[in-house]
């Protein structure tokens, strides 16, 4: 329980782009008072958008109450409500937006629509002290190398097909691993990969500054089904290839921009092997490496609340009639007036 400060202003942030429904409460000074995450777990481990949205609607009331309880403030203390407006899965986004609109209207406070990808970078900066990094944002739905240039985060490289987290998750599911609370597929795969010894040849596809992971996934699944390789070796080889690809693109963005920081963010940032690879290239370029803390790596409401505060302080509010969700809202389409 936190001690309520009556001079402080607070933002409540709602995240619901995919499988997580999360509510964060944060002071305008950046102090996180609450960050409750309720993840949708299906039988198969996949995300069916409408089933995930139903989960979000069912847990929303409880998650909001738990967030207030953890924060030690009451609803009337909230100054603004922020929500993830995109990109993401339509039914999930709409559920989050509906909860946000209802809360903002009930509390008579402004609504701020936040870009989910920008939020992953901003929470990474807040939590690590990075100021102007080349960011590698890797999650279940996104794989982007970005850095701030001329008023916006610019995309220097990205996946041409599936996201890194998705690649790991699909392989893990094929291999019969279980997705459990506190142990996502990627983490289960990481444990097996640590026991791998033999590097198996798999496709490595970097095209210019972009990369492709679907060929790698198909080849790994094909070998898995043949049953001739040890699962540990396959997990190890899949990780080595996929992580080398994103590291190569990040290194080139670093060389091009001559920035002095590398930030790793998004759910896959929890992976120790990926952290090691990125740290190595950062050091080679005399850049500081930082990684978002685990609690803020996966989708979370605190990152939405923080980005809402940054935007609101620079005059951004989202009228209800403009609060429709944007399923493909690209990172490089968002003005970030709080950065110079």
Q: Which residues bind Mg ion (CB under 5 A)?
A: 18-20, 299
Q: Which does 200 bind (CB under 5 to 8 A by kind): Mg ion, ligand AMP, none?
A: none
139 binds ligand AMP (CB under 6 A): yes
233 binds ligand AMP (CB under 6 A): no
Nearest residue (CB) to Mg ion, 17 versus 241: 17
Nearest residue (CB) to ligand AMP, 91 versus 140: 140
Interface residue with ligand AMP among 15, 122, 158, 169 (CB under 6 A) is 169
185 binds ligand AMP (CB under 6 A): yes
Interaction mask 7-46, ligand AMP, x per CB under 6 A: -------------x--------------------------
Candidates 3-11, 47-55, 182-190, 305-313; binding stretch for ligand AMP (CB under 6 A): 182-190
Nearest residue (CB) to ligand AMP, 233 versus 299: 299
Nearest residue (CB) to ligand AMP, 223 versus 270: 270
Interface residue with ligand AMP among 234, 270, 292, 310 (CB under 6 A) is 270
122 binds ligand AMP (CB under 6 A): no
Mention every residue, 6+ apart, whose C-beta is less than 8 A from residue 61.
none
331 binds ligand AMP (CB under 6 A): no
Nearest residue (CB) to ligand AMP, 11 versus 192: 192
210 binds ligand AMP (CB under 6 A): no
Residues in touch with ligand AMP (CB under 6 A): 20, 139-141, 165, 168-169, 184-187, 190, 266-268, 270-271, 298-299
């Amino acid at each position: 329980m936190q001690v309520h400060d009556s001079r402080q202003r607070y933002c409540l942030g709602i995240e619901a782009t995919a499988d997580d429904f999360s509510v964060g409460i944060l002071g305008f000074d950046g102090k996180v008072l609450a960050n409750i995450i309720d993840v949708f777990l299906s039988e198969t481990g996949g995300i069916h958008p409408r089933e995930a949205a139903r989960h979000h609607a069912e847990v929303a009331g409880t998650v909001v109450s738990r967030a207030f309880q953890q924060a030690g403030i009451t609803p009337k203390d909230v100054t603004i409500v922020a929500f993830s407006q995109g990109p993401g899965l339509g039914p999930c986004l709409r559920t989050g937006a509906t909860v946000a609109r209802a809360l903002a209207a009930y509390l008579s406070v402004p609504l701020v629509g936040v870009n989910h990808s920008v939020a992953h970078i901003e929470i990474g900066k807040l939590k690590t002290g990075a100021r102007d990094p080349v960011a590698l944002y890797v999650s279940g739905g996104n794989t982007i190398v970005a850095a701030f240039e001329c008023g916006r985060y610019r995309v220097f490289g990205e996946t041409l097909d599936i996201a890194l987290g998705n690649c790991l998750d699909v392989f893990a599911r094929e291999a019969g691993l279980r997705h459990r609370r506190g142990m996502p597929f990627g983490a289960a795969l990481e444990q097996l990969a640590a026991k791998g010894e033999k590097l198996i040849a798999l496709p490595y596809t970097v095209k210019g500054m972009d990369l492709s992971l679907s060929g790698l996934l198909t080849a790994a699944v094909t070998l898995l089904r043949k049953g001739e390789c040890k699962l540990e070796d396959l997990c190890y080889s899949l990780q080595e290839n996929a992580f080398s690809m994103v590291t190569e693109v990040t290194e080139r963005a670093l060389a091009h921009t001559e920035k002095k920081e590398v930030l790793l963010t998004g759910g896959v940032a929890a992976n120790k092997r990926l952290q090691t690879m990125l740290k190595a290239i950062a050091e080679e370029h005399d850049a500081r490496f930082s990684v978002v803390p685990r609690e803020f790596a996966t989708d979370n409401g605190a990152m939405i609340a923080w980005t809402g505060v940054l935007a609101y302080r620079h005059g951004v509010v989202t009228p209800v009639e403009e609060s429709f969700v944007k399923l493909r809202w690209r990172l490089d389409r968002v003005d970030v007036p709080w950065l110079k």
